[in-house]
Amino acid sequence: MIRGMKMVKKIAIFAVIIVLIVLVIVLWPRTKTVTVTAAPSTITTTVTKTISQTVANTTIVPSSPSQTVTTTVTVTATAEPVSAPCAYRGALTGIWSGKMPNGIPMNGTLALTIDNNGSVKGTFDGSFSGTITGNVDLVGNIAAVGTTTSGTLHIASSWSARLVINGNSMSAQGTWNSGDAGGTCSGTGTIAK
């Protein structure tokens, strides 16, 4: 009989433990996810709040403060393109000089124009003559390519310079190179209004 009582006691304790586990599982706070979608758009943002969230005149309130409600809010954004003229638009004239690979000096003049979009166009003359095309960036760095044509010979050169604005004037200092030949270039000019 004592043995039977011990067995009943063990079964009762086991049953109580099972009931407690089931209660913990059932009553334990859970995270619920609710997705609310507004009109279709091009930008989607996910917002997580722990108290409440209002979307499209509908309020979603969690049943407990520890619940997390996730709502997806759809937003459409459009922007008008903003274009401002290039700060370096204007004209420059200057000089270039350097040496051939065999040490023979070269030099000449150059003339450049910069339009509202930052496009650089111009010419260089002297020991060699040709055209220059490129761009200037927002901080005044010119990157351009020069082309010289002599009969059937086409020679490419790269030109780079830094523009500095002082009032309505600007100046440039830079370098050029073509293969093993290279040198410096500089110029001054005015800002177009």
Q: What is the pLDDT of residues 138-188, one digit of tens each?
A: 899 999 999 887 766 678 889 999 999 999 999 999 999 988 889 999 999
CA 118 to chain CA mean position, Å:
19
pLDDT class of 124 with cuts at 50, 70, 90: very high
Residue 114 has pLDDT above 60, yes or no: yes
CA distances from 92 to 21, 151, 163 (A): 84, 29, 10
Could you tell me if 69 and 51 are in contact, meaning their C-beta atoms sit under 8 angstroms apart? no
- Least confident span in 49-53, 96-100, 103-107, 150-154: 49-53
Q: What is the mean pLDDT of the chain?
A: 75
Query: How many C-alpha atoms does 58 have within 13 Å on its Cβ side?
Result: 11
Residue 36 has pLDDT above 60, yes or no: no
pLDDT class of 12 with cuts at 50, 70, 90: confident
Chain segment 19-35, per-residue pLDDT in tens: 667 665 666 665 555 45
- Within 43-126, strands assigned E span 43-49, 53-55, 58-60, 69-75, 90-99, 105-114, 119-126
Instruction: Kindly list the domain boundaries of the chain, sorted by start residue.
Output: 1-30, 31-78, 90-191
Q: According to the model, what pLDDT value does residue 169 have?
A: 94
Q: According to the model, what pLDDT value does residue 61 have?
A: 54
Which residue did the predictor score with more confidence, 95 or 58? Answer: 95
Q: pTM for this one?
A: 0.55
Over pLDDT 90: what percentage of the chain?
A: 40
Rounded to whole angstroms, how far apart are CA atoms 39 and 53?
17
Three-state SS at 39? coil
Which residue did the predictor score with more confidence, 8 or 40? Answer: 8
Is 90-191 CATH 1.10.1580?
Answer: no
Neighbouring CB atoms inside 10 A of 156's CB total 11
Q: According to the model, what pLDDT value does residue 121 have?
A: 96
